[in-house]
Amino acid sequence: MKELNPLEIAAIDRIKFLILFGGVFSPVKLFPGPLKMVAEIMPITHGLKLIRYSIVGPNTGDTIVQVVLLGIVVVFGLLLGFVFLNTVWLTRKNDLLINEN
């Protein structure tokens, strides 16, 4: 069995966090207040709700709300990721320029 590098371990830990607090094993509505707020900003929570709605049957109002919430969370996450990566890229670029001089 190969040994995992730190990035692989971090990725596995993130997946564990998403599964544990995303409502995979228990409904989010049973979580205490702060954990419920954390769960509501994770895309997996809304994706799971959409899957559950599709299995149970049509409930158009809730389904539309979950699609909109999932879209908002995904767009916000993409924007946040873009800003973060852009900041890292600019910092790295500036470090390279300083080291060249």
Name the pTM for this structure.
Answer: 0.57
Report pLDDT for 79: 94
pLDDT in tens, 21-61: 888 888 888 889 888 988 888 888 888 888 887 777 766 77
Core vs surface per residue 41-64: b (16+ CB within 10 A) or e: ebbbbbbbbbeebeeeeeeeeeee
CB 79 within 8 A of CB 56: no
- CA-nearest of 20, 16, 27, 19 to 56 is 27
Report pLDDT for 73: 85
User: For all residues of the chain together, what is the average pLDDT?
Assistant: 81
Core vs surface per residue 9-21: b (16+ CB within 10 A) or e: eeeeeeeeebeeb
